[in-house]
């Protein structure tokens, strides 16, 4: 018997990490009856026949791609073209926080950054307490910062195309290379149309995963009324709003707006809050 984490699942076989080794396992037949499908990221108990016996309760699960128990979300933005899409950034932080995932921001391409490419993002996120790291995949210093930002657990990488997610993952996986792409190549030629996802292990406690679908993950669980809870810098102020149910949009004596006027909340974050708020209200479903 041992406990481990599923890092890969192909054709009914699951690769489970056990300390620093990997064990290929079957799943107990009964899972199918119970309509539980083991999923990447699941913490499982494996018996002596290398059969998965039990799946621990999931802290969260992304649907597309299916990945369970994400602890951290590394939102990658770029200090050079393509410049940061702060609306997408803020939607991702909201999605993460609403799912119990800790967001962080990696400002990549700092080797070719204009000074204000970095500063703009730092200013945007002021007082959010969302950790922000200026990194690059080129200099030793930049790479070290990428390595150092990783914490225990599973870190998913998300962000718009072209910002350097793949480069960062390759940098992390290095030549210790961890079957990068190998299996997915095989699957591409097969009948599978779904994206193949797996966790990559940096060390015994640290896993990373590219999440092609995360940005499209529908965070409709967040409604307009609770949106403010997922703006940590608002949370510091909204107890002082005159109305308990203040939406911080039009009400009088809004303490969040006061903080905005005082410069404690960045104007661009507040503007994005209003945009997201209105999108949720309209349920235009372009909350992606
Ligand atoms: N100068 C510089 N270029 C980078 C860096 N990271 C990625 N790139 C380049 O940016 C482009 C997009 O990178 P890629 O990893 O494919 O981005 P993805 O779409 O987010 O996966 C590629 O041409 C990379 O070589 C970096 O830190 N510095
Ligand atoms: Mg990529
Ligand atoms: Zn308010």
CATH architecture for segment(s) 2-57: Beta Barrel (2.40)
Highest mean pLDDT among 169-173, 180-184, 254-258: 254-258
Mean predicted confidence (pLDDT) in 42-68 = 91
Q: Among 86-90, 191-195, 235-239, 265-269, where is mean pLDDT lowest?
A: 191-195
180 has a pLDDT exceeding 90: no
What are the phi and psi torsion angles at 207 (to 5°)? Answer: -125, 150
Q: How confident is the model at residue 37 (pLDDT cuts 50, 70, 90)?
A: confident
CATH architecture for segment(s) 67-216: 3-Layer(aba) Sandwich (3.40)
Tell whether ligand 1 has an atom less than 6 A from the beta carbon of residue 163. yes
Nearest CA to ligand 1 atom 9: 164
Annotated domain spans of the chain: 2-57, 67-216, 224-282
Q: What is the pLDDT of residue 212?
A: 63
d(C-alpha 41, C-alpha 221), whole Å: 22
Tell whether ligand 1 has an atom less than 6 A from the beta carbon of residue 117. no
d(C-alpha 145, C-alpha 140), whole Å: 9
Mean predicted confidence (pLDDT) in 272-282 = 92
Tell whether ligand 1 has an atom less than 6 A from the beta carbon of residue 240. no
- CA of residue 151 to ligand 1 center, whole Å: 23
CA distances from 17 to 4, 26, 124, 146, 244 (A): 5, 14, 39, 23, 47
d(C-alpha 214, C-alpha 70), whole Å: 11
Which residue did the predictor score with more confidence, 200 or 212? Answer: 200
| In the chain, beta strands by DSSP E | 2-10, 13-18, 21-27, 43-46, 51-55, 61-62, 67-68, 72-78, 102-108, 132-134, 153-158, 200-203, 206-210
Q: What is the pLDDT of residue 106?
A: 98
d(C-alpha 152, C-alpha 116), whole Å: 32
- Digit-coded pLDDT (tens) for 124-155: 999 999 999 999 999 999 999 999 999 999 99
Tell whether ligand 1 has an atom less than 6 A from the beta carbon of residue 136. yes
Query: Which atom of ligand 1 lies closest to the CA of 112?
Result: 1
CATH architecture for segment(s) 224-282: Orthogonal Bundle (1.10)
Q: What is the pLDDT of residue 193?
A: 38
18 has a pLDDT exceeding 80: yes
- Digit-coded pLDDT (tens) for 76-93: 999 998 888 999 999 999
Q: What is the pLDDT of residue 282?
A: 85
- Digit-coded pLDDT (tens) for 215-257: 544 455 688 999 999 999 999 999 999 999 999 999 999 999 9
């Amino acid at each position: 018997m041992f406990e481990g984490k599923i890092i890969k699942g192909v054709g009914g076989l699951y690769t489970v990490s056990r300390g620093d080794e990997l064990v290929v396992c079957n799943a107990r037949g009964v899972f199918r009856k119970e309509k539980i499908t083991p999923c990447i990221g699941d913490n499982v108990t494996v018996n002596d026949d290398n059969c998965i016996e039990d799946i621990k309760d999931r802290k969260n699960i992304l649907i597309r791609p299916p990945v369970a128990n994400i602890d951290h979300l590394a939102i990658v933005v770029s200090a050079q073209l393509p410049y940061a899409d702060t609306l997408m950034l803020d939607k991702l932080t909201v999605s993460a926080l609403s799912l119990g995932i800790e967001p962080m921001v990696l400002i990549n391409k700092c080797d070719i950054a204009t000074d204000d490419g970095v500063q703009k993002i730092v200013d945007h996120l002021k007082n959010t307490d969302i950790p922000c790291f200026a990194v690059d995949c080129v200099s030793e210093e930049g790479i070290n910062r990428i390595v150092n930002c990783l914490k225990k657990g599973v870190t998913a990488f998300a962000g718009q195309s072209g910002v350097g997610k793949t480069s960062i993952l390759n940098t992390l996986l290095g030549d210790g290379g961890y079957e990068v792409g190998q299996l997915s190549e095989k699957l591409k030629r097969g009948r599978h149309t779904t994206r193949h996802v797996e966790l990559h292990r940096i060390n015994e406690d640290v896993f990373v995963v590219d999440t092609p679908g995360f940005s499209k993950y529908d965070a409709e669980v967040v409604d307009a009324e609770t949106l403010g809870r997922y703006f940590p810098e608002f949370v510091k102020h909204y107890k002082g709003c005159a109305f308990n149910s203040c939406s911080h949009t039009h009400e009088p004596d809004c303490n969040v707006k006061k903080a905005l006027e005082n410069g404690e909340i960045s104007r661009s974050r507040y503007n994005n809050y209003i945009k997201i708020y209105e999108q949720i209200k309209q349920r235009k479903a372009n909350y992606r």
